[in-house]
Amino acid sequence: MREEFLHFIWDQQLYNTSNLVTASGDEVIVDDTGYLNKLSGPDFHEAKVKIGETLWAGSVEIHVKSSDWFKHNHEPDNAYGNVILHVVYEHDIIADGFYEIPVLELKGRITRKTIEKFETLKASKSKIPCESLIREVPQRIKAAQLKNSAVDRLKTKVAEIQRNHKQNRGDTDITFYRTLLKAFGFKANTLAFDELAVRTPFYIVKKCAHVKGMLEALFIGQAGMFPANPRDQYQEKLLSDYTFLKTKYGLQPGSSAAWKTGGVRPGNQPVLRLAQLAALFESNPNISSEVYKSDPNILKQMFAVELNPYWDERFTLQKVAQKSTAKKLNEKAVENIIINTIAPFLYFMGDKRDRPELKEKAMDLLVNTKPENSSEIKNWKSLGLHFSSALETQGALQLKKDYCTKVKCLHCEIGKYIVG
């Protein structure tokens, strides 16, 4: 038995409430359980409980055993002076002074089935504690929890954008620029792209966007990726353009060692992503404004930019590829950017400008974007969950992070339904 479980039982009133009496025999009627206190002090505040003929308003303290009151040293603590009821699973002692606080014992009032389900969740060694029980949960319950978790995940990303925005002294365009560049790292090179954004001022990007090919030179040069000896005329031209920009703006290139290339799929090689990023800003210099009026299909068109045919023949600057292919951002990559950049940015702007329609648009983008299919999502599918959108898969990822990994089942709507 755990106090966390008893908190849940009290809050949800999942015990036999008929003929409730205190340990001293006074009738108990619970008018309001109060709200769970997540700070120090009694467990529930602002409860309303009728004991005998008197309706009391105050705090409720919950323990497994009544003797825990003394073990936790509550007796001399003034914070517990407002406790109107001590709820315990087992009333095991009667001590001097203790009679002043009415005790309600729940032993025998909680069904064995409820206790067993809670113990099953807590004892589970699975990454998803409820995997043996989740199929009995109605779809509406699972859908509601996935949506709540998706919003939590979105807000976590928004918090990062807010920190970015503060660092950029409230400049929205620079904030979007840095957020977008970080997304182009696609996990393997997230930090390297973020450093590139800091190292390469956005005002220079805007100036270079109007000159064909200049952004490629800027990004590749700032990333420190030019070979010591250019291998062809195209590379020579890029290096020449970058040397000009470096001198003109006093730029400091980064180190190629910051970029991960080993074990990275050909289509995700950093120099190719830099070329795609350059083409994107060249085609859409004001992209931070364009995202406000876009739906997933328009966004996909916006990101499907054409690269110089030079890149058809290669994934890196070092060698020619065996097969010639156009190197557009594929649909999966664009959806990743919509999920991790565009939607959080719109939600952030909705908060910043007090425009709820932008927050709704962020949610709609996730609803209208295809569900992800990572190994974690496949695991959820094996448990009978069905996903129709990125909103639901984002919710599943956050659900595992916030609740399953921490075994916080009684804070999750799915876990509550199972135990209740």
Which stretch of DSSP H or E encloses residue 311?
Answer: none
Q: What is the reported pLDDT for 400?
A: 96
Give 403's DSSP letter: I
Q: What is the reported pLDDT for 275?
A: 96
CA 161/CA 152 separation, integer angstroms? 14
The label of the residue with tokens 């983008």 reads: 365
Which stretch of DSSP H or E encloses residue 161?
Answer: helix 139-167
CA 88/CA 62 separation, integer angstroms? 6
DSSP sequence for 199-220: HS-HHHHHHHTTSTTHHHHHHH
Q: What does the domain layout of the chain look like in residue ranges?
A: 3-110, 168-329
pLDDT tens for the chain, residues 1 to 420: 789 999 999 999 999 999 999 998 999 999 999 999 989 999 999 999 999 999 999 999 999 999 999 899 998 899 999 999 999 999 988 655 555 789 999 999 999 999 999 999 999 999 999 999 999 999 999 999 999 999 999 999 999 999 999 999 999 999 999 999 999 999 899 999 999 999 999 999 999 999 999 999 999 999 999 998 898 999 999 999 999 999 999 999 999 999 999 999 999 999 999 999 999 999 998 888 888 876 788 888 888 888 999 999 999 999 898 888 888 888 999 999 999 999 999 999 999 999 999 999 999 999 999 999 999 999 999 999 999 999 999 999 999 999 999 999 999 999 999 998
Burial 272-300 (b: 16+ CB within 10 A, else e): bbbbbbbbbbbebbebbeebeebebeebb
Rg for the chain, CA atoms, rounded: 29
Tokens of 419: 């135990």
